[in-house]
Amino acid sequence: MKRAGMYLAPVAVILILLGAWELAARWDLISNALNIEDFLVPAPSDIATSLWRDRSLLADDSWVTLREVLLGFLCALAAGLVFAVVLHLSDTLRRAFYPLLVASQTIPPVAIAPILIVWFGFGLGPKVLLIALVCFFPVTVNTLDGLRSVDPQLVTMMRTLGANRRQILTRVELPSALPFFFSGTKIAIAVAVIGAVFAEWAGAGSGLGHQILIASSSLLTARMFAAITLLSMMAIVLFALVALIERRVVTWDNRGVTRT
């Protein structure tokens, strides 16, 4: 009962908003206010109809986008983890690369997406690369922070027990950095979907981002919203999956091992 109550408020808010939108669209309130044709403002029921009618088209596009997102995300996880460990182990490399790492994040993915398309063509490669680029930063920075926040007394304790550098890394630093790693991972999976849309907008023949472009140029607004709904659901489900894995893996209270 308590659990059900927890979801009651957000579900009610969503239902009220959808209801208001439905009525506003049905009575042409929005299109009149914006002074546009009324078919350009689909009601939630129109979007639902499009989701069902265009299901095979949207399913194909969803699969394409999901594959890009997962590949890019997993590449970023692996690279981010390795990069974080390397920067953690070498003060010199950290000082050399950290500003570059931050600078890389200031370049908007929209700006580099066309360049990647020009260089690597219209295939899967440039999409995976762009998604990996936007995911890389949160994973690397969070993991590095986690590795560096280990209580120095724990490291001293490990040394007195005879641990070498590798053992300190694998037995203390990496486990205690796991919650940080997962924080970065959750941010990464959410931005991965956004990255996929940018990548597809820069040049693609399929995918949900591509479908949004096509549908909007054909003024198929209901289908556009249907694709947006699927993108959003994809991000939410992937985020929930990562959160679930985190709960399964990080079963301890990490407060005892970090400095703050």
Partner 1 sequence: MQTRLRESSPDAVAGATVAVSGLAHSFGELEVIDEIDLEVAPGEVVAIVGPSGCGKTTLLELIAGLRPPEEGTISVAGGTEPTGRLDRCAYMPQRDLLLPWLSAVDNAGLALRLAGTSRGDARGRAGAHFERLGLAGFEGTRPDQLSGGMRQRVAFLRTLMAGRPVLLLDEPFASLDAITRAEMQTWLAGVLGPDRHTVLLVTHDVEEALYLADRVLVLSSRPARVADRIDIESPRAADRAAAVTSPEFAGLKERALRSLMEGRR
Beta strands in 14-53 (DSSP E): none
Residue 163 C-beta: closest distance to partner 1, Å: 5
Footprint on this chain of partner 1 (rule: CB under 8 A):
151, 153-154, 156-163, 167, 171-172, 175, 251-254, 256-257
Q: Are 100 and 137 in contact (CB under 8 A)?
A: no
**CB of 180: closest distance to partner 1 in angstroms?**
14
Helix, strand, coil distribution of the chain in percent, nearest 5:
85, 0, 15
Q: In whole angstroms, give the CA distance from residue 109 to residue 141.
A: 18
Least separation in angstroms between residue 89's CB and partner 1 is 19
CB of 254 to partner 1, least distance (A): 7
Q: How far is the CB of 185 from partner 1 (least distance, A)?
A: 18
Q: What is the DSSP string of 85-144?
A: HHHHH-HHHHHHHHHHHHHHHHS-HHHHHHHHHHHH-SSHHHHHHHHHHHHHHHHHHHHH
Question: Least distance in Å: CB of 181 to partner 1?
Answer: 14
- Please tell me what DSSP assigns to residue 220: -
In the complex with partner 1, which residue's Cβ is closer, 156 or 216? 156
CB 181 within 8 A of CB 142: yes
For residue 134, which of 211, 77, 59, 219 has the smallest C-alpha distance? Answer: 77
Which is closer to partner 1, CB of 55 or CB of 165?
165
Q: Do 89 and 169 form a contact (C-beta atoms < 8 A)?
A: yes
Place of tokens 């981002």: 209
Q: Which is nearer to partner 1, 214 or 250 (CB)?
A: 250
Secondary structure of 143-173 in HEC code, one letter for each residue = HHHHHHCECHHHHHHHHHCCCCHHHHHHHHH
**Closer Cβ to partner 1, 160 or 217, answer by number:** 160
Instruction: Give the nearer residue to partner 1 in terms of CB position, either 32 or 156.
Output: 156
Q: Smaller CB distance to partner 1: residue 94 or 171? A: 171
Nearer to partner 1, 154 or 235 (CB): 154
Nearest-approach distance from CB 94 to partner 1, in angstroms: 24
